[in-house]
């Protein structure tokens, strides 16, 4: 894998008296899919929101390509091509599919130009053909799986160097969830998109990831290659419900 794109060092985040992150450290290298594992409330979403500027850390540092971005506003982080696709899809339901996609390119439209935007759109449609079929349909009328694909595709239109994905298969039927995760793998392999992924299905996320971190009570408790963690006894007991025996 390539150089380190994203570094989180000694990050602390609190909600009032509640400490959500307690000195968390991690890094993501160019071209990787890195999975974040942990129970509900472990601090996974808080971490992504801190990276994307939605939350302000009380201490610690976040670097993107060696530039500190700690505490910067979300718009400036998007301009650096660190793109956050939050949980619960959050598409613009009263706009068409294609308008949602154009909004993804909003921050770089003037510098990229219309011709390149249209090329990007063709690339997105090649990866998500169902969206081309529904491009003039209101986003709010899409199925749950199609809305999730639209949310990810809108993120891709922003030309991410790092894509932060928070529970992309939440609430989806197993067959649709599998399709979404395969699309994430394809984004990584075809476009070289670097991904930091929170995913409820631990086995599936480890199968597409290169590395993974386990978060508990706001801190990293384990890290390693995804395939190694997939066969790790502690991980299997904690997240897969399988005793070692």
CATH code assigned at 9:
3.40.50.300
Note the pLDDT of residue 245.
Answer: 36
Question: pTM (2 decimals)?
Answer: 0.91
Q: Is residue 180 part of a domain?
A: yes
Q: Is residue 143 part of a domain?
A: no
Q: How many domains does the chain have?
A: 1
Q: Which residues pair with 68 in a beta bridge?
A: 63
Hey, what are 20's tokens? 């959500």
Quote the domain boundaries for residue 12.
Answer: 4-93+155-239
Note the pLDDT of residue 113.
Answer: 76
Q: Is residue 227 part of a domain?
A: yes
Phi, psi of 22 (to 5 degrees): -130, 80
Q: Is residue 116 part of a domain?
A: no
Tell how strand 4-15 and strand 59-64 pair up. antiparallel
Q: Is residue 88 part of a domain?
A: yes
Q: Is residue 9 part of a domain?
A: yes
With a cut of 50, list the residues of the chain below it in pLDDT: 242-245
Q: Which residues pair with 224 in a beta bridge?
A: 212
Q: Is residue 46 part of a domain?
A: yes
């Amino acid at each position: 894998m390539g150089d380190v794109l994203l570094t989180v060092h000694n990050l602390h985040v609190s909600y009032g008296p509640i400490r959500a992150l307690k000195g968390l450290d991690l890094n993501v290298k160019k071209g990787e899919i890195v999975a974040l594992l942990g129970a509900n409330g472990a601090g996974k979403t808080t971490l992504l929101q801190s990276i994307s500027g939605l939350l302000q850390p009380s201490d610690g540092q976040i670097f993107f390509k060696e530039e500190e971005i700690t505490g910067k506003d979300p718009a400036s982080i998007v301009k650096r091509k660190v793109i956050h696709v939050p949980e619960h899809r959050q598409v613009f339901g009263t706009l068409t599919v294609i308008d949602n996609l154009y909004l993804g390119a909003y921050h770089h439209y003037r510098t990229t130009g219309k011709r390149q935007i249209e090329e990007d759109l063709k690339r997105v449609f090649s990866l998500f053909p169902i969206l081309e079929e529904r491009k003039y349909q209101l986003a709010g009328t899409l199925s749950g799986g199609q809305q999730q694909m639209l949310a990810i595709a809108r993120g891709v239109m922003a030309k991410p160097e790092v894509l932060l994905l928070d529970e992309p298969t939440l609430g989806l039927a197993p067959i649709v969830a599998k399709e979404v995760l395969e699309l994430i793998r394809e984004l990584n392999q075809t476009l070289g998109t670097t991904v930091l992924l929170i995913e409820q299905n631990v086995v599936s996320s480890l199968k597409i990831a290169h590395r993974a971190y386990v978060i508990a009570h706001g801190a990293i408790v384990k890290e390693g290659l995804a395939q190694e963690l997939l066969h790790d006894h502690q991980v299997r007991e904690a997240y897969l419900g399988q005793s070692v025996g």
